[in-house]
Structure 1
């Protein structure tokens, strides 16, 4: 089955009971049992809900995995995955991960005894140096947020396999339409489904897919025990969003390529970060492991003042803390999505106060370029 067809017909296709072509929203908390312990596969909606299950089956199909899980947010998904580990365990992570990931690792999970080290995972030697005797997993975000660095998933998977470590990949930016980390050797793939998978700025959710049954059982136990599940209404919204994911991702990328061409030539722009540029340090890796370069771009205008001026002048780019929607969004990571990372650390990574991140929507690209032209001038 081709990708666009799988988006429509993957997982559970419609409703076999009624013939409905759309999976119903099962707005229910509990289920009638025939007798004690005898039921039709569902007993309580924290443990399982038919609408959520349809979404979980669909994302497992799309990511070419064994089992999928839907959570109430991307951070709930990340936290549940990290609960696979015990006090005293250590995880190596990509250095410029999303600020929320950094925060939960350094301000919450560290209090439970889960240690973390952040390194440039585009450099295998840095990963190797960071591995300790108690390291249990490697966690990579690729492309990264907000500097769009690309980590070689196959190479890191080989290293993880040699060291008997789990490889976890945040695939939010590329989505399963452009990139399938499990097929490249990862053990767990996760998404902030709030972003491209939902695609319409109307749902907050997280998704996880695992590559084997044992991991699936372990993660289901955590999901059921801690309860950070996604509700049926939001599950249905994600199923609906996924049906147009292919069309949207292609439209996002088509617009993005033209905007990148414009930004590279603009005198007010000091640097552009986009994996689709041949000058990008990991362009060849991105081209090899993904079928597209995505709709995220970051560019530096040199100062906090200039960045603030640009954000004040744009009309079609909405100032907001998210990405991946049909409308174009704009933000300054240092002041918004990555404000939880200490300033010294941000500067060390290259997340300057003049760095602007845009999520290119599917509006007419001429309007978007005109908007950026007016703002930058």
Structure 2
């Protein structure tokens, strides 16, 4: 395959395995283990002297194809796929951090990530300092002699904050730190953190990578030396992606570019409309000129992505009325589907945080997160408008 191909075309063309039937799409390899011609070949495989599939917890042709496509899209050296997005995030932490290490983390992150770094890290002797996404002085002040990793989301979940990846790359290189970036909201067709200096990129493939709400999955890609440690950790702890889910995700990647183009166009139109609505206090979307980090978003993102958030007047009561009044949009805590979704983070994805913790990262009682789908944008807006009207009654 020519290295001159665009990363999107290169990823689409990757096919890890083909049988004598000469199928156009890679078949499913639904097997728990793989056989060997003889005892010596099996011994050499376990000794890492030959590259052979051993067991689907370690590797599988379907999983390998998905990883190879994600590496092509992100510009990464290597990767490992996991059963869920959270297992990818967890493994990227615990494979590389040990007792006595310190991590700096963006304060606005997914609720389960927040719980890991605040509740579970201390149990293993790992410390973490949370810093606001846009406070560069706070990032500098958080560096300690034992700091090993910086972890961030951009855009952040659910407040749609933007971290300057170019600055983050220079910051981590200056302090010799591992830069670990959650690229779930943007996807590699919109943003490639490795180009700005990221060492690792993680995804909940459950979201836009699948794009149709069908399967769970996660993936970590990045520097080969770091991925080797992550692979060895995961090989023994077992958060492996199933071959079937990998096959689904691999096929989904072939439409990721066109899907994200439509999602982004729909989201921008919805955000622009909401800015004019009297029942809305504010709207945040990366490609709205009113976004505090609009210039940074335009610098590092090719489009704004499919997620936006807004503050509905009337707090949690109005938020509940809004959700209950929706007729077309789904009410669920997931995102990244062909169908538009509305969620109330304070009572769902970030409900395990204290009220003080939620307020500190801008998760207010009236915050609504919208994941725009592939429906006609006029229909999405019409449903949101009628639900907003009901929320004021």
Q: Same fold (TM over 0.5)?
A: yes
Match of 1:226 in 2: 237
Q: CA deviation at 1:348?
A: 2.1
Matches within 5 A, 1:307-326: 307-326=319-338
- CA distances 1:325-345 after superposition (whole Å, capped 9, x unpaired): 100010000001111211111
Q: CA deviation at 1:6?
A: 2.9
Does structure 1 retain, via aligned residues, the 8 Å contact 2:182–2:202?
yes
Match of 2:61 in 1: 50
Bigger shift: residues 38-47 or 53-62: 38-47
Matches within 5 A, 1:362-377: 362-377=374-389
Does structure 2 retain, via aligned residues, the 8 Å contact 1:75–1:100?
yes
Q: CA deviation at 1:13?
A: 5.7
Match of 1:108 in 2: 120
Matches within 5 A, 1:26-65: 26-39=29-42, 41-65=52-76
**The one of 237, 242, 246 aligned to 2:257:** 246
Q: CA deviation at 1:349?
A: 1.8
Match of 2:45 in 1: none
Judging changes above 3 Å, is the alpha-carbon distance between structure 1 residues 158 and 313 closer, same or farther for their aligned structure 2 residues?
same
**The one of 201, 222, 227 aligned to 1:210:** 222
Q: Distance in 1 between matches of 2:281 and 2:379?
A: 23
Q: CA deviation at 1:14?
A: 5.9
Does structure 2 retain, via aligned residues, the 8 Å contact 1:188–1:210?
yes
- CA distances 1:293-324 after superposition (whole Å, capped 9, x unpaired): 11101000131111111000011110001111
> What TM-score does the superposition give when structure 2 sets the normalisation length?
0.93
Q: CA deviation at 1:15?
A: 1.9
Residue 353 in structure 1 maps to residue 365 in structure 2 = yes
Matches within 5 A, 1:183-332: 183-211=195-223, 213-302=224-313, 303-332=315-344
Q: Distance in 1 between matches of 2:348 and 2:164?
A: 28
Does structure 2 retain, via aligned residues, the 8 Å contact 1:14–1:20?
no
Match of 2:10 in 1: 6
Q: Distance in 1 between matches of 2:147 and 2:294?
A: 30
Q: Distance in 2 between matches of 1:3 and 1:360?
A: 25
Unaligned runs of 5+ in 1: none
Q: Distance in 2 between matches of 1:245 and 1:268?
A: 34
Match of 1:156 in 2: 168
Match of 2:185 in 1: 173
Q: Distance in 1 between matches of 2:357 and 2:256?
A: 35
Residue 122 in structure 1 maps to residue 134 in structure 2 = yes
Q: CA deviation at 1:37?
A: 4.5
Does structure 2 retain, via aligned residues, the 8 Å contact 1:71–1:206?
yes
Does structure 1 retain, via aligned residues, the 8 Å contact 2:11–2:68?
no
Does structure 1 retain, via aligned residues, the 8 Å contact 2:121–2:128?
no
- CA distances 1:67-120 after superposition (whole Å, capped 9, x unpaired): 011100011001111111101111111111000100122222321112111111
Does structure 1 retain, via aligned residues, the 8 Å contact 2:8–2:73?
no
Q: Distance in 2 between matches of 1:217 and 1:8?
A: 25
Does structure 2 retain, via aligned residues, the 8 Å contact 1:13–1:22?
no
Count of aligned pairs between the two proteins: 375
Judging changes above 3 Å, is the alpha-carbon distance between structure 1 residues 269 and 52 closer, same or farther for their aligned structure 2 residues?
same
Q: CA deviation at 1:373?
A: 1.0
